[in-house]
Structure 1
Amino acid sequence: MCSSNLYSHPDVLLEDHLIGVAQFSELFLCEKPPEIQEELRDIVKIIALTHDIGKATSYFQCYLKANDKEKEEIKKKKETHHSLFSAICAYFIVKEKRAEKFFPLFSYIAVKRHHGDLIDVLDEISLFTDEEKKLLLQQLDSIDEKSFKKLASKLKKEGLPIFLTKECIRGWIENFPEELKKLKKEVRNLDKDVRHYLYLNFLYSLLLDADKNEVVVKTRDIFERKTFNTSDWVNNYKKNKKFDFSSINPLREEAYQEVMSKEISLDKKIYSLNLPTGLGKTLISLSFALKLREKLKNEKNIHPRIIYALPFLSIIEQNFSVFESVIKSNHLEPTSDILLKHHHLSGISYQKENNEFETDEAKILIEGWNSEIIVTTFMQLFHTLISNQNKNLRKFHKLSNSIIILDEVQSIPIKYWSLLQTIMKKLSDSLNVYIIFATATEPLIFEKNEITSLVNKDSYFSSLNRVLLIPVLDKSRTLEELFNYFQLDNGKSYLFIFNTIASAKRFYEMIENLSISHTFLSTHITPRERLQRIREIKANMYQVVITTQLVEAGVDIDFDIVVRDMAPLDSINQAAGRCNRNNNSKSKGVVYVFELKDDNDRTYASYIYDCVLLDITKKILSEKEEIKEDEFLKLIEDYYNETKNKKTQNVSKNLLEAIEKLKYDTEDKNVPSISAFKLIEEDYNKIDVFIEFDDIAKGVWQDFLKIKEIGNRFLKKQHFDSIKDQFYQYVICVPASIKNSLELVNGIYYLSNDKLREFYDLETGFITEGMTSSAVVL
């Protein structure tokens, strides 16, 4: 059959692109639960085969044939736009085939917004004007009849349920205003059901992912999944690994065996692994997930991806390295299709067997989570789950049939607990998702009957006697008073954790002239240098470490004495996890908690923590002079019970209401919308600064300047992606209010090597002029 001679992209026939997207959609859908496949297969095909049908207009065809300069002008013209035209076709064809469950509306929105972000659904169906109707008819009239018939014939042969004609589309355009009136009424009376949100996101996500892969990656062979037995991966790793001696190892092994001997019921989908710090939650949770994966594969023919999420970048590298070692110990190469790291600073490199993919292909594959095990951040995961943005939601469909491990789950803000409880339950039920919460301080997100515990946590907490916690809260103290409180013992190691960068720097200045080995950590030190210092700390190269909270959750370091500025109890418990972690000290480790204040008599804690959480913590700690480790669990449970009673869940309630009403984004900022969700709230405006720290940084900066000279924005982005990983090793965030006279170059502030000593201290990092004691690290 002859081609239509209509094009979707330069040198790409429209029918080839539409059919290609349909094939990618089918490929991705085949990985989902059978009931999802059955319910959505025909809808997914219609969406894929119609999503760019509006490109058949003569206006769009002229745009494709124009030179670059002309394209910029033509692109601005409304006649060139194709999404609304395509969306109306998708709507009516789906309505004819599957009118139930808002599927026609969801198909319309997925297609209309596949080049943009989602907005309030009610706003979406209130935007159609007489002018738009006139424009659509004008676009329709411009389509070449003969070419369109050839296109329609090919699409019908590929599975589109009707033979598309211009006359048919004309009727749809004429009738669309009446359809919208009915839809508005239905949307206003929408049931309070999170599943509407999950289904719309799923359809939208599947289209986005299929579309991008068809355009950039093209071949579907890349997506062929590997099959191997993973249930013994961690066992094999443990046999080959020479673990350092620790008196706590038998307890770690006991916890591991308890979890791995547990019978798995596939009806149970939400699990909790609540163990004290240092008992190996990372390996245990991975091993259980791999065992669960094998059971799902053997009993249900499902091959779930494992999505392992952490709260902080500081522990991504550490745990990713452990996973690499696990895979290598099983005689496999941890290529990107097996193990993938994804966060906003990760490099753009994707390998499969002997193939290294080009930057643009690699970017699509990484951001689409195309791997068996994905190591990522809470930011990436939760902004995939709760978002209106195209770039975030593209990988939403990958959550279906997955096993999600949430490590250090206590880091999730309390205000989102209720939201998380509802969303996670619906996600597990509707999209067959298994969830494992791993933590030393289990927050009360779920009721006890909603979650399956993997260990008898009481027995492990009561078995430990590594640490003594001593609250020194009789009064607030200055940094000078803290310095005078301690006579540092040369035979012991010390970790001081402060709430603000300013207070940490000031205390460091007090100790830097002492004849002891010491170092400093904060986010004002370049990431490259920070990781190097963490490696040195792990190698016991320093007796005293001064740091901010960035070491608290999951960073595998160990000290005899930990001193913590006042914080919520779960943070204090995490800090205690860096004290005598491996139980190798001859005496108990000691954790001191002080309430430190600045020169204005304001506590540093008050700058960054919720006063209700601080009050609850202070009340609990002040009741005891010292607290043994076997009492930690009871204290944390008391703390969470108290916080649940006192902290409002209004933020969760508003977001949940927006999700149920499909209010993705609104111009009225007084109306709650999904776009308002931010896992981490920024307390102050920040700027990025590139620090030309060494010769490598000089080379990276020169590459950056050359890239900025590239005229084509797509090429420019592609070249930057190739150096992004190295570039951000030298970028820090500082408050926008600083008074430093930095040079702004191509959108980023730049500290040249010849001015380095003026603005960057080799020990404590960036020297901020005009920074107050409230400057914090998050």
Structure 2
Amino acid sequence: MNTGKNTTFLAHVRHDKENLWHEHALDEHLREVGRRAGEAANAFGSADWARLAGIWHDLGKYSNEFQRYIKNASGYEAAEAHIEGAPSRVDHSTAGAIHAIRQLGKSGRILAYLIAGHHAGLPDWSASETGGKSLSVRLNSEHDYLLDRIPPQAVPADIFDQTLPTTKPKGGTKGLHLWLRMLFSCLTDADFLDTEAFMDGSKAAVRKGYRDLADLLETFDNYMMSKAKTDTPVNVIRTAILNQCRKKAQLAPGMFSLTVPTGGGKTLSGTAFALEHAIWHQKRRIIYVIPYTSIIEQTATIFRDVFGDNIVEHHANLDPDKEDACSRLATENWDAPIIVTTNVQFFESLFAARTSRCRKLHNIVNSVVVLDEAQLLPPEFLQPIADIMNLLAAHYGVTFVLSTATQPALDSFQSFGEQPFRGLDNVREIMDDPDSLYRKRVEVTVPDDLTTPDNWQSIANALQKHSTALCIVNRRDDARELYRLMPEGTIHLSALMCGEHRNHVIADIRAKLKNNQSVHVISTQLVEAGVDFDFPVVYRALAGLDSIAQAAGRCNREGKLYTPGKVVVFVPPKPAPPGLLRQAAQISVSLLSGNKNDVLERGLAKRFFEHLYVLLHSTNMASMICLHAMPAMV
């Protein structure tokens, strides 16, 4: 603390409530960021690179220019100088990048990317798109003055002269981008945490307090015992699934599939596998990845019932008013035992450049990642997704669990002479005999003619013959049109509804079903993944076989009917929207011709995904060829 003239090189300053100034010495900041970053990167064997990036990341702050700036910008109140996006009048990040190049030569570019981007995000190398912000421009000789202006005596020898790193990048050339992002994550998180500890020690204290996974497993076991149900046929199957998940948890880390029919309790059984696998193999956390924000609240509610406040939700629909300070801070870097997030948040972060998106990446290392409803991974991005999953499993200690009733076909394949699809490596099924789990709870009726559409009035008339029924359509305007023809009291569901309203409506539907009240629901496909409805009758507009199977999962879910539930596939007046949905429907038409008696058979689902992925992979390759050819044509 200092109340007079500053005599040290400053990283940050803080003004407290007692009108006293507090100095964050620059050498202390660099050493501590180096220590924190190295400790984080030790989880994937690259501590030497991350530590050095931390030691050198703020070398530019030793310049007289920066010291004048931090002292004089607002009368010694320069506390905002470190914040991403805040206006900075002195470039303090390029100097460390230049020093890395001088010390390591071309290999120094690795550190230069990290150091130059630790506030604004990882830079591009080429100036063709980002101009003067590109790394190649910032490292040219015109900017050498940013390092040379630092007084030689200012920097302690143990900071300026360092042992150079010797470890090799993870994953070779193909994995270099992910390794760089992981190192970047270690650096930026370390920088934020050390700065936060100085600026606001109360925040640093709030980050503590989560229970460890072994403690949470005991809580989970007690919860499962308290929820033990009668030995109905469905519950017998659920118990068998749970027991197999527990048994297989000791298998070596890597890729797993959990193929369980809808209603088989795969959320809790998959959690049992994840917890026991994480403890057995000393994993640090469980990350539950869900495709839709419309169902994430449901899963998070289940986890909160079990684990209390030891989970963190990170998604676009999150209500900040329902979060506490600890969980809000944990969304910044995923430093919590259980994370519930979305496909978009998880996979986009793995390819991101922004500091705020990359900061959490190092906490994915050595974790168990459960991909719920894995068939909903975006097909157009399957290749980069498969590549990065393989890298995470092979080099960063991540175990993946693909959890779904309709497993996607993610093996490698050749696509019509184009580049082959590089699939997932060595995926092991957790269930001993998945086919035995698919007992017949429903019967699916498919029209003989899959090319002649019905009209909405005939569909409305058919629905009204049942006291309780769900109808799922492909388009929002289809849902509105059919809803208009239904009697008063019919319920409409659409993704256009706000999350709070949608949750209230879903809860009302569940209550009516539980009380055996008559209810008709017209919905878009938002109910098909993870929404726990149990209707005796479900109508489904013609779509991909995966969608038909998921719709069937909303029918006789608990197996309470004396006869199988009824699922009726119909041809809607309008085809599915152009693109993926229409292509999937067309594949269904070709596969169902002459094979309508076994619509939910797992082998047929596999053939569906093989056709779909081959088609989309070929289309994507053709698009890439066109994109590469465009500059030459202009």
TM-score (structure 1 length as normaliser): 0.68
What residue is the counterpart of 2:114 in the other structure?
110
Going from structure 1 to structure 2, the CA distance change for 1:654 and 1:421 (only over 3 Å counts) comes to farther
> The residue matched to 1:443 in structure 2 has which SS?
coil
Residue 256 of structure 2: which of 256, 265, 271 is its match? Answer: 271
Contact 2:94 2:138 in 1 (8 A): no
User: How far has the Cα of 1:506 moved from its partner?
Assistant: 1.8
Going from structure 1 to structure 2, the CA distance change for 1:223 and 1:428 (only over 3 Å counts) comes to farther
**Deviation digits for residues 18-63 of structure 1 (CA, Å, limit 9, x no counterpart):** 2332233244335x15xx1xxx222222111111111222322233
What residue is the counterpart of 1:216 in the other structure?
196
**Deviation digits for residues 298-317 of structure 1 (CA, Å, limit 9, x no counterpart):** xxxx3421111000112211
What residue is the counterpart of 1:25 in the other structure?
37
Q: For 1:95-494, what aligned pairs fall within 5 Å after superposition?
A: 95=104, 103-123=107-127, 124-128=134-138, 133-137=141-145, 140-141=148-149, 143=150, 148-149=154-155, 152-153=156-157, 155=159, 160-161=162-163, 193-218=173-198, 222=207, 226-227=211-212, 228-241=214-227, 243=229, 246-262=232-248, 264-266=250-252, 268-296=253-281, 302-327=282-307, 334-335=308-309, 338-348=310-320, 357=325, 363-446=328-411, 450-471=426-447, 473-490=450-467, 493-494=468-469
> The residue matched to 2:304 in structure 1 has which SS?
helix
Contact 1:350 1:362 in 2 (8 A): no
Counting aligned pairs with the same residue, the percent is 25
**Deviation digits for residues 610-631 of structure 1 (CA, Å, limit 9, x no counterpart):** 4432211112223245446xx5
Going from structure 1 to structure 2, the CA distance change for 1:213 and 1:594 (only over 3 Å counts) comes to same
Going from structure 1 to structure 2, the CA distance change for 1:580 and 1:79 (only over 3 Å counts) comes to closer
Residue 25 of structure 2: which of 10, 13, 22 is its match? Answer: 13
Distance 1:23 1:370 in 2: 18
After superposition, the CA RMSD in angstroms is 3.6
What residue is the counterpart of 1:530 in the other structure?
502
Contact 2:8 2:25 in 1 (8 A): yes
> The residue matched to 1:524 in structure 2 has which SS?
coil
What residue is the counterpart of 2:484 in the other structure?
509
User: How far has the Cα of 1:116 moved from its partner?
Assistant: 1.9
> The residue matched to 1:340 in structure 2 has which SS?
strand
What residue is the counterpart of 2:474 in the other structure?
499
**Deviation digits for residues 355-388 of structure 1 (CA, Å, limit 9, x no counterpart):** x63xxx7644322101011111111111122223
Distance 1:459 1:670 in 2: 48
The reply to whether residue 56 of structure 1 matches residue 59 of structure 2 is: no
The reply to whether residue 46 of structure 1 matches residue 26 of structure 2 is: no
The reply to whether residue 632 of structure 1 matches residue 601 of structure 2 is: yes
Contact 1:216 1:364 in 2 (8 A): no
Going from structure 1 to structure 2, the CA distance change for 1:84 and 1:525 (only over 3 Å counts) comes to same
Contact 2:540 2:551 in 1 (8 A): yes
Instruction: Using CA pairs under 8 Å that are at least 6 residues apart, name the structure with larger relative contact order, 1 or 2.
Output: 1
Distance 2:7 2:443 in 1: 75
- Single out whichever of 644-653 and 528-537 deviates more from structure 2: 644-653
Counterpart residue type for residue 202 of structure 1: M
Counterpart residue type for residue 344 of structure 1: A
User: How far has the Cα of 1:641 moved from its partner?
Assistant: 2.6
**Deviation digits for residues 305-333 of structure 1 (CA, Å, limit 9, x no counterpart):** 11110001122111112122223xxxxxx
Going from structure 1 to structure 2, the CA distance change for 1:463 and 1:367 (only over 3 Å counts) comes to same
Distance 1:669 1:50 in 2: 42
Counterpart residue type for residue 93 of structure 2: S
User: How far has the Cα of 1:487 moved from its partner?
Assistant: 4.2
Distance 2:314 2:215 in 1: 24
The reply to whether residue 544 of structure 1 matches residue 520 of structure 2 is: yes
**Deviation digits for residues 528-548 of structure 1 (CA, Å, limit 9, x no counterpart):** 111011111122265111111
Counterpart residue type for residue 237 of structure 1: Y
User: How far has the Cα of 1:286 moved from its partner?
Assistant: 0.6
What residue is the counterpart of 1:642 in the other structure?
611
**Deviation digits for residues 214-238 of structure 1 (CA, Å, limit 9, x no counterpart):** 2235556645774434555443222
Counterpart residue type for residue 554 of structure 1: G
Counterpart residue type for residue 568 of structure 1: G
Going from structure 1 to structure 2, the CA distance change for 1:349 and 1:198 (only over 3 Å counts) comes to farther
What residue is the counterpart of 1:623 in the other structure?
594
> The residue matched to 1:593 in structure 2 has which SS?
strand
> The residue matched to 1:426 in structure 2 has which SS?
helix
User: How far has the Cα of 1:134 moved from its partner?
Assistant: 4.1
Contact 1:270 1:450 in 2 (8 A): yes
Contact 2:249 2:277 in 1 (8 A): no
User: How far has the Cα of 1:408 moved from its partner?
Assistant: 0.2
Residue 592 of structure 1: which of 545, 549, 568 is its match? Answer: 568
Going from structure 1 to structure 2, the CA distance change for 1:521 and 1:82 (only over 3 Å counts) comes to same
Distance 1:43 1:129 in 2: 19
What residue is the counterpart of 1:166 in the other structure?
none
Distance 2:87 2:334 in 1: 35
User: How far has the Cα of 1:462 moved from its partner?
Assistant: 4.6
- Unaligned segments of structure 1, at least 5 residues: 163-190, 297-301, 328-333, 598-602, 658-665, 672-778
Distance 2:184 2:70 in 1: 26
> The residue matched to 2:263 in structure 1 has which SS?
coil
Contact 1:348 1:362 in 2 (8 A): no
Residue 556 of structure 2: which of 561, 580, 583 is its match? Answer: 580
TM-score (structure 2 length as normaliser): 0.82
Going from structure 1 to structure 2, the CA distance change for 1:377 and 1:8 (only over 3 Å counts) comes to same
What residue is the counterpart of 1:175 in the other structure?
none
Going from structure 1 to structure 2, the CA distance change for 1:525 and 1:237 (only over 3 Å counts) comes to same
> The residue matched to 2:122 in structure 1 has which SS?
coil
Counterpart residue type for residue 61 of structure 2: K
Counterpart residue type for residue 53 of structure 1: L
Distance 1:654 1:140 in 2: 48
Contact 2:347 2:385 in 1 (8 A): no
What residue is the counterpart of 2:20 in the other structure?
none
> The residue matched to 1:477 in structure 2 has which SS?
coil
Distance 2:244 2:588 in 1: 32
User: How far has the Cα of 1:454 moved from its partner?
Assistant: 0.5
User: How far has the Cα of 1:86 moved from its partner?
Assistant: 2.0
Counterpart residue type for residue 613 of structure 1: A
Going from structure 1 to structure 2, the CA distance change for 1:376 and 1:471 (only over 3 Å counts) comes to farther
> The residue matched to 1:194 in structure 2 has which SS?
coil
**Deviation digits for residues 641-665 of structure 1 (CA, Å, limit 9, x no counterpart):** 322443325648999x9xxxxxxxx
